[in-house]
Structures are given as structure tokens and as C-alpha cells.
Amino acid sequence: MSGAASSRNSEAVRFASMSIGAICSARCGSDGTAHQYAAGYAAASGFHAVPRLHTAAAPSRRRARPGSARTRGFADYVARCPAARGGSCDPRAHRRSAGANQSDLEPTVRRLMAIGYRLLGVAIVLHIGTSARLQAQTFEQRLVAVPDTASVRQMSRDLSAVPHMAGTPAQATTRDYVLDKLKSWGIDAWSKEYIVYIPQPDTVAAWIIPGPRRGPVRLNLVEPGTGAQIPPFNGYTGDGDVTAEVVYVNYGLIEDYKTLDSLGISVSGKIAIARYGRSFRGIKAREAQKRGAVGLMVYSDPQEDGYFRGDVYPKGPMRNADGIQRGSMMNGNGDPTTPSWSSVEGARRLPEDSLDIPKIPIIPMSYGNARRFLEPMGGPSVPQSWQGALPFRYHAGPGPARARLHVKTERGARGFHRIWNTIGMIRGERWPDEWVVVGGHRDAWGPGARDNVSGTVCVLETARAFATLAREGLKPARTVVFATWDAEEWGLIGSTEWVEELEDTLRARVVAYINEDGTFSGPNFGGSGSPSLKPLLRSTAHVVPDPVGPGTVYDVWLKGKNGDTTALTMGNLGGGSDFSGFYHHLGIPAGGIGFDGPDGIYHSMYDSYDWMSRFGDPGYKAHRAGAQLVGVIMSRLANSDVLPLDYAAFGTEMTGLVSQLDSGIAKKQWKETVNTQALKDALDRFTAVGRAFNASRDSAVARSVDSARARRVNQALMVVERRLTRPAGLVSRPWFRSLQFAADLDNGYATMAFPSVNEAIRYADAATANKELTDLVSRIDQARAALVEAAVALR
């Protein structure tokens, strides 16, 4: 608030005090003070925030005790002066008979007193609202001031010193490092252990057999110049030793196999070679196995992240010819042996041979090695959209070269390993049972400076900022939780197990989850999240200096869009990171921000401190800005009287996405039997309530909202998106309960809006589409009812 506005509020307090003081002097002598009248007015009107009038500018730890001079003064005054209760305090009046004439001044004095009380009440509310906003601004300013480039740089160097895959001793060391940091800052911190199935590799080897007269040549799967290495393998690969001709399958998507069918080429009995991109890698494994391939090789084409995009490492940031992208091949979240329940010690387990993981051997490789299969490949020339950036024309095959793949991983009891999440917590002062959670995964497929040491460092530096403020006496109103997750790279395992174990607690307490995953590797700001959180994520960009350009993050973001505010969009949440358990499983609003840039070291040994300090974030200013932004986001979620969730924006965005359903319905020629009008009407009703609630909230927050009322409002708000989940989940994937968004079933990363309806349309089931539309409309109306409850509680 401006200084002028603050001055006007102070003046209103003084005016009201003087008005009541004048009345007191005229009718009661000098016994009552303005503050005592203020307390009396507050007590009579149910306004409970009056004590802050004395303490807002400089909070006091002292509270008035029953019978203290503070409380006795007003009690004595009321006992002596009936005017405080609407009567007369003139001693002579008490001696008059009931029929005696009252002074003509009496009604006027009463009216003046009533006006004075009202003025003071308004002034108190304005003063308290101003003080709360000023305190929130101070909190934010301190959170922005604390993060430091030297601090984030050192933590980045420490945590990326060696590869630290989940289930290894090196990863246990990162657990201890994080806990030591949190505790050294005065934060309550602990680890949570789970026992999960993440079989490590025993042997990974590949050979090329160039022709019938030439023997096999073993491929070098080492990334030179990187020191200690994690073997190049894909998590949850099948075991096997297979030899077969090779077929190029482009990205290995459903439509790619349709193209191969049109060319008369089958992968049955062959080894498929697919390039990374356009989908989660697990989809590539699923489709290859489904079509009878006996093995799969996946490589990063230079068109995606190699020399086609810029200079390669170590000269530049892009992937060199030796770079190998590792990663999990499991399509699903959490430990595959405990679907939908937590992998605590003693948990029941599914049998190993029944797990929904690939059965064929899979090996990732560099484009340097992939070239040895692709360059001599025969068969028809591929469509232009299949052509990569290697310097020759691509063909589909098969052969003439053959490949041999040999993969052996831990099986049985050896495949189970202990993992550890770390949890740090600063307890809230006003609403300790409402939690704001920020998290990032701690494991990596290599040194992981980008993915995800950068996210872990952001969580830690944000925690350090909150801890610094707590030591200064500035504690958040809500509890803030700082989490680092283990085994995310295998399938979001650490966060999923935590969510499954604490499902009821988290659903009841978490107001929002902020996720930081591999998000600091360049100068370009962006974010994604629930539509209800996007306005908050955008707003924080106004208050943090940009790490590179002049002005704020918002200024540079807008300049990069040529001043077009409509281009400042943020994505929705599909799959691939730790928000999924909170958002898709429990219906908790989630989001995240970050900075990116040219990057060709994903999941390789070259994702190192050297790469980050020279190419990703020289100076570590993006890391600092990320911690500043997350700090402000956390502060606004933790300290706002009414949660800053925007359901008008939510309704507007979801309405715009109905067109995707309409398009699918039109393609199926179902316009006569399936339509979305009821869904549009439900979203219109929801959006209208959202707009009305926003207006009421803005007005109420400007005056301040007492704790009890805020709790009622926020408890209703927290239910809104929970009501857009279905306990039985999606028909295709019961673990995914949210009916807002899910990861596309045939892509893995991409976002699918209204997934229950969209999947019915995709699989040509009109009856199910109508059933799902009816269910979705009902749940949107239930969510709207929760928003109405919040509006009623706000009155």
C-alpha cells in the first residue's frame, strides 16, 4: 500500500479516536480512553482483530492477562458508565426519577457516539488490513533478498560431484547432505524410507554384425571424459540376449508403426531402433514389444539435441556423438510391486513375473553408435518427417546389419533397494494444519547438475530463506514443507510412495504443491500448473529481478513475446514429474516455474557442474532467481488470509479446452448422439461463481479476514479440485483420479484434458463418452458447490 493510503488510514484512526474522546469528555469525564472504547466496540460487534491495532507495526509477544490493567480499565469503565451500553453516564441522570425530562442533547450524543464507533471500526479494519499487507510485503522482500549465487553454486557443486542413481551409496550421501543443511538452518527435518523394486544392471552390452562374412563388433557404450559412470541402461528393461536384423521405427509411436505397415515392413522378430522424442520413452518400449520386436535400441538424434541445434559439448551445450540418454521404461507411477499402496517395510508385493514392465531387452545408445546401424540400412527410403540430422538418407530396413543385445539386471530380492525422501518443515503460526509443499527429486542418471540438482538446490535455497526469516521472528502463517524425492527417475517412486502412505493427511492439509524438476538451465522463464495457480505463478514474475536482462522476470518475459501479454501462457500438467501424485491422484493444485535454454546433456554423464557453470547457468543467477520466485509463490500461498487460487481463470481455461472434445466428436461423426453442451453450461456456471468469489475475496482481503473465517473459506476452497477427482480413477488407469488432466495414454508426457471423455472418444466408444460426460458435469457442479460454500463463508 502507498504511503498516502497508509497516512489516510492512520488519520481515520485518529479522527475516530478524537470523536469518541470528545464524546467521552462531554458525557463521561476522563475515565475512558479511545483504545478502551475501541475494545468495547470490537467486543460488542464481534470484531476480534482489535489487539492487532496495538501490535501491527511492531508485533508484541505480550498478551493481556485476565484482570490486568489493560482489561480491567474497560471493565471498570463499563461498570461505571452506562453510556458504553447505550445509556447515560451522567451521575445526575441516575438520580432523576423515571418521569424526569431527559436533556435534549441526549439523542444527539448517542447518534454521535454511534457514528464514532462505526468510524473507528472502519479505521481499525483499514489499519489492520494495511498492516497485514505491509507485513506480507516485508516477508516477500526478505525472501527475495536472502537467496545468494554463492550459496546455490556451492550446493550445486557438492550435489553433482558424482553420479547418484537411486538405490546406490552415492544417493544415500545426498540424503545426508540435504538433512544436514536443513538442520543447520534450524528446520525440523527427517528422512522417510521405502523399499522399492528398482533392479540395477549387472551387464549391458551391444554388438553390430555388419554382414554375413564379418564377425560381431562390440560397441563402446562409455561416455569419454566423465570419470565414474552409471552404465548406459534403461530402468525396467527386460533381460535377454537377442540377435536380429534392425528396423528403423522413427519415434516408435503408434502412427509410426502404421506407416511401416503401409510400407509392408514388420518388426516382428526384429530389433527396433527408435529415436528419442515426441513421447515418453516407455511408450516406445510398449509399442515395440506389442508388435513383436525382440529388442529395442533408443538413441538421441542430433536433430533433437545435437549438432543440428548448436555446438556440442565440451565446446557448446548440445549433445555430442558419445552422449547417451538413460531413463526408465516403465509406464506408470510408483513402485510396480505395490500399485496404489505404499512400499513400506513388510508391504505385500505383486510377483515379479506379473509386473507391468517391459519383457524385451532395451539399450540406449549415442547417435555415434546408432549411425553404424542406420547409415548402411536398406529397404525403402523413409518419409521426410522421419529424416533425422545424420548426414545420409534414412531407410527403414530391415538390415542388412544385425544387432546383438545382451542385458542382465538384478532379479528377485536383489532387485529391491532402499530409497529415502527428505522432509523439512517450518510450522505455521496461524494455520499450522494447512501445508504448502515444495519438492524436487534428488536422484539422477548421472551427476545431474541440471536434472535434478538444480531443482534440489532451489528447494534448499528456498528453505534457507524461510529459515532465515523464522530466526528473525517472521514465520509463515501456514506450515511450509520442503521435500526432496528419491527414485523419481525410475517412475516418480519416492513422491508416489509418500502420497500413497499419507493420502488422507495430504488430502486434508496440503493447499498446493510446487514442483521443481530440472528447471534451471538457461535464461528463458516459463511455468506450468493447474489453471487455478497460473495467475499466481505469473504474478510472482513482477517482483523478482531477471537473472540476465534488465528489469524483472516479467519484463524480460514480455519483451521476449514482443509485448504481447496474450502470449504469456503457461502449460498444463501432463506426466513425467513428482507433481503427479499430488495433482493427478489427490486433486491438489500443483505447479512450477523455471528457466531453460539450449540443452543436450539430458540423462547423460555430461549433465555436470562443468556444463552448468559454463553453459546452463553461468554465474548461477537463474538458480538464485528460481529460489526467489519459489519463495514468493510459497509466501503468497502460506500467508494470504484467503488462498490465492483463481477459479474464474480455471473455469475460463477449461471451457476453452472443450473444443478438443468437439473436434474428436466431429471426427467420429457423433454429433447426433454425443455433444458437450451440458459440459459447457456447467463450466459457465462454475466460472460465474469463480468471478463473483474473486470480487468478494478482493474486497474482504483489503479489509483483512479473521482467522476463523479464513479457515472456513479455505477449507471450502481446498475441496474444489478434490471434487474433480473420482475415487475409482480413469477406466484406463485407476491410479489417475483427476478428471481435469492426465498424461496422454499414448504419449506419456503430453497433457490430455478431460481424460475420461477424451479416451472414450479416442477408442470409439460413444456410450462411454456420454456416460463420462454426465459424470464430469456432475463433478463440476459439486466443485461449484464447494466454491459457493467458500463464498458464503467469506460473507
Check residue 563 and report its DSSP letter. Answer: T
Place of cell 527403414: 396
Q: Which residues pair with 403 in a beta bridge?
A: 208, 244
User: Can you give 496-561 as a three-state secondary structure string?
Assistant: HHHHHHCHHHHHHHEEEEEECCCCECCCEEEEEECCCCHHHHHHHCCCCECCCCCCEHHHHHHHHC
Q: Provide the whole-model pTM.
A: 0.84
Query: Average pLDDT, stretch 224-241?
Result: 95
Task: Tell me the Cα Rg of the chain.
Answer: 32
Q: 500-524: per-residue pLDDT in tens?
A: 999 999 999 999 999 999 888 899 9
320 contact partners, CB below 8 Å, separation of at least 6: 306, 312, 313, 314, 600, 606
Check residue 236 and report its DSSP letter. Answer: T
271-275 β-sheet, strand order = 217-218, 201-209, 402-409, 240-248, 271-275, 295-299, 362-365
Q: Which band of pLDDT confidence, cut at 50, 70 and 90, is reported for residue 211?
A: confident
Give the integer Cα–Cα distance in Å for 12 and 440: 48
Other beta carbons less than 10 A from residue 499's beta carbon: 25
Q: Which residue from 65, 50, 48, 67 is spatially nearest to 13, judged by alpha carbons?
A: 50
Q: Which residue from 754, 744, 748 is spatially nearest to 774, judged by alpha carbons?
A: 754
In this predicted structure, the answer to whether residue 105 has a pLDDT above a threshold of 90 is: no
Place of cell 476452497: 717
In this predicted structure, the answer to whether residue 607 has a pLDDT above a threshold of 80 is: yes
Q: Which residue from 558, 556, 578, 579 is spatially nearest to 569, judged by alpha carbons?
A: 558
Q: Which band of pLDDT confidence, cut at 50, 70 and 90, is reported for residue 74?
A: very low
Q: One-letter amino acid identity for 539?
A: S
Q: 454-506: per-residue pLDDT in tens?
A: 999 999 999 999 999 999 999 999 999 999 999 999 999 999 999 999 999 99
Give the integer Cα–Cα distance in Å for 501 and 496: 9
- Helix/strand/coil for 678: helix
- Helix/strand/coil for 323: coil
From residue 72, how far is each of 68, 513, 532 by CA, in Å? 6, 47, 48
Give the integer Cα–Cα distance in Å for 143 and 145: 5
Average pLDDT of the residues of the chain: 87
Q: One-letter amino acid identity for 167?
A: G
Residue spans of beta strands (DSSP E) within 371-492:
402-409, 416-426, 431-441, 478-485
Residues 379, 381, 387, 389, CA torsion sign: positive
DSSP structure string for 133-153:
HHHHHHHHHHHHHS--HHHHH
Question: Quick check: 164 and 170 in contact, CB under 8 A?
Answer: yes
Q: 369-411: per-residue pLDDT in tens?
A: 999 999 999 999 999 999 999 999 999 999 899 999 999 999 9
Percent of the residues in the chain that have a pLDDT greater than 90, as a whole number: 79
From residue 630, how far is each of 17, 80, 262, 499 by CA, in Å? 42, 55, 50, 22
Question: Quick check: 592 and 514 in contact, CB under 8 A?
Answer: yes
Q: Which band of pLDDT confidence, cut at 50, 70 and 90, is reported for residue 114?
A: low
- Helix/strand/coil for 223: coil
The domains of the chain, with CATH numbers, are: 3-138 (no CATH), 149-196+416-598+611-639 (3.40.630.10), 201-409 (3.50.30.30), 647-794 (1.20.930.40)
Give the integer Cα–Cα distance in Å for 710 and 691: 19
From residue 313, how far is each of 224, 409, 600 by CA, in Å? 11, 31, 8
Q: Which residue from 489, 316, 522 is spatially nearest to 419, judged by alpha carbons?
A: 489
What pLDDT sits at residue 111?
A: 56
Q: 20-55: per-residue pLDDT in tens?
A: 333 333 333 333 333 332 333 233 333 233 233 233
Q: One-letter amino acid identity for 659?
A: S
Helix (H) or strand (E) holding 26: helix 3-28
From residue 6, how far is each of 34, 52, 57, 640, 641 by CA, in Å? 20, 16, 12, 20, 20
Q: What cell numbers appear for 549 in the block?
A: 536482462
Q: 300-324: per-residue pLDDT in tens?
A: 999 999 999 999 999 999 999 999 9
Q: One-letter amino acid identity for 481?
A: V
Q: How many helices (H) and strands (E) does the chain have?
A: 26, 18
